[in-house]
Structures are given as C-alpha cells and as structure tokens.
Amino acid sequence: RSCCCCNTLAGHVLTMTSPLISSSASRLLMRHYRLATVTAASTKKNYHRCTSNNAQNNNLSLPEQHSLSNGTLRHKLRTGQPTLGVVTGFHNDTDHAETLGLLGYDFLWADAEHSTANASTVANLILAAERRGLPTLVRIGYGYQNVIGHSQKFLVAGAQGIILPQCESADDVHKIVDAVKFPPIGRRGLAGERWNAWGLGGQNNGGGDVTLADCVRTSNDNSIVGVVVESRRGIEALDEILSVEHIDFVFVAPTDLSADMGLHGQIRHPDVVDMVDKAGQTIRSAGVSSGMLALNGDDYVKYRQLGFQVMVGVAHTMFAEGARSLKSRAEDYESSGGE
C-alpha cells in the first residue's frame, strides 16, 4: 500500500524523470523513491505490531483485528443475551453500514437473498462495517446446490458468519456448518483471506507470531451459524434442526411464515404471532437464541417480552419511516396555513 509521502515523492519522480533532466539525476531520485517506499512499508509494519500488542480485544489471535478476533457477538448469542442488528439490501451504499456501527448496533445482516447483492458488493459493505467495529453476517440466497461454495465467497469477503434461509431439516443445518467451519468441525477451505489478513501473519497480544493454525482455531471459535425458519414445515422440524451442534441462533421469519399460512403479509395476525411465539419457546428450550423482526420500537418491546433475544430491524423500513414522518409533518404544517 502507498502512503501520502510516497505518493508525493512519486509525483516528483514522475515530473523529474523527463527528457529535460539528466539520467544521473533521474537515477538518484528513483533511488530515494525506492528507499522511501521501503521505509514506509517498514514503518507501517511496526505500527501494526504496536497496535496489535496494545489491543484489548479478548481472544485475539488474528492479525489486523478483524471482527472474528473478538468473540463478543458469538458469546452474546450463545449465552442468550439481547442483540440488535439491521438487515440491509442497500448493498451499494457503505455510509449507512458505518453509521450503524457508530450508533452501536451489534451486527449488520447483509441480505443476499432479497436483493441483487453479490460477493463483490457485500465485500464493500463489510469493509465499511469493519472500519467501525461492526460484524457482518450474510444471508445467502435459497436453493443453491452448493451451499459451501456459495457461502465461501462471502466468507472470503470478510463475513463473520452465514445465515441460511428456508431451513427445514437437520441436513440443511449440517450444510451451513460445513460451509462456515474449518475441519475438523466443517469443510470450509483454507487460504489467505480478509479475515486472516490474507495470510500475512502478525503478532498476538502476547507478542507471539500468529499462524494459520491460530487463525483457524479463532475462526471456529468465533464464526457464527444462523438459520431462518419461515414455513410450517420448518417449525415442525425444529427439534431436528436444533439437534445439530454449532448452531448459534434460529430466526423466525414472520413474513414468509404468514404467506405459508395463507395470511400473506399479515405478520401481526394473532395466528402468526401465536406460531412465532411457540417456535421461539421451542428454540430457547433447546438452549439456542431465538430471533425475530423488529420493524419499530413497539415490535422490539413486544418480542423481547416474549423472550426473543436476537432482534433485527430493517434498513429500508428505517429510511422509509423517517422519510414518511418528515413528509407527513411538512404536509400537516402547509395544509394548516403554516400554523
């Protein structure tokens, strides 16, 4: 990577190595440019060593302090603590991802199912979120024959975990565990990727060298496996689904569930709410965190009181409600004659 001083010097070199300058002067300037580049790289390496040694994150054994270095999110999920995330399909906008991190949300749910997002666009979201200490979980699309291969692209991009939609069997869970976890737990392929600083190594808090084996152990400890049940068949299979190890949370999706029940979009219908509630009880009785949608503050309170721990807002709804509120207030004011 370049730095400002190197770029400035490089500009001078490009200017000075013109036909009007002697070859000896050009060689001298190029020699200084190479020296400056090496010095900058060395300085940056020492800086990262110092910041790694001074880091306070728990369970740190990955270089560059990717969110996988910190087991906070998975610890909250595994111990049933409340977490608040936001699902987003705004994959071409990174500013909102940074904003959510700055506001203190627990995680970003990047949606690659109900959006046109791909691994490249999600990678930009992840970079923005990581900048603000916000872990990203990616919900992949449903129906892919090769769950491992499809998930791998988002894990390479830096996702801390994968969320599998339309989960209806233990076999579905085994596939996503295989995709997220390295051997001996799963079958994820190992290479230099964003989460392990592209295999460049580094130092841990104790000053020791970080190996790929260290990275794998930390990833298996802190990576997250989530599944979504969104049909009566999925809810009926909950006991089977929950029997699989390494599952961190089960999210009950009310919109698709309402459609499956013939109540399309009626997510607050008493029958839908009752089925969601019973599903949540089954999930929590197995010692697994249960997740639910919170389109507003009232939804959050309602489902937290019912025992749900993983609450998820929707970025588009947040934007639409804010825009609608302003527009409505403006219209009221103007229609009243400015009173």
Residues labelled catalytic:
114
DSSP one-letter string for 220-282: HHH-EEEEEE-SHHHHHTHHHHHTSTT--EEEE-HHHHHHHTT-TT-TTSHHHHHHHHHHHHH
Cα distances (Å, whole numbers) of residue 193 to 1, 93, 125, 198, 320: 17, 23, 16, 4, 36
The tokens of 213 are what? 């084996």
Beta partners for 18? none
The tokens of 70 are what? 């910190």
Contact residues for 40 (Cβ-Cβ < 8 A; gap 6+): 2, 3, 5, 6
* 109-238-181 Cα angle (round to 5): 50
Q: Where are the beta strands (DSSP E) in the chain?
A: 83-88, 107-111, 136-139, 161-164, 224-229, 249-252, 289-293, 310-314
Dist. CA 194–CA 46, nearest whole Å: 20
Each as own residue / partner, the long-range contacts of residues 276-282 (CB below 8 Å, 24 or more positions apart, any chain) are 276/252, 276/303, 277/306, 278/235, 279/229, 279/235, 279/238, 279/252, 280/252, 280/306, 280/307, 280/308, 281/307, 282/235, 282/238, 282/239, 282/242
First to last CA, the chain: 58
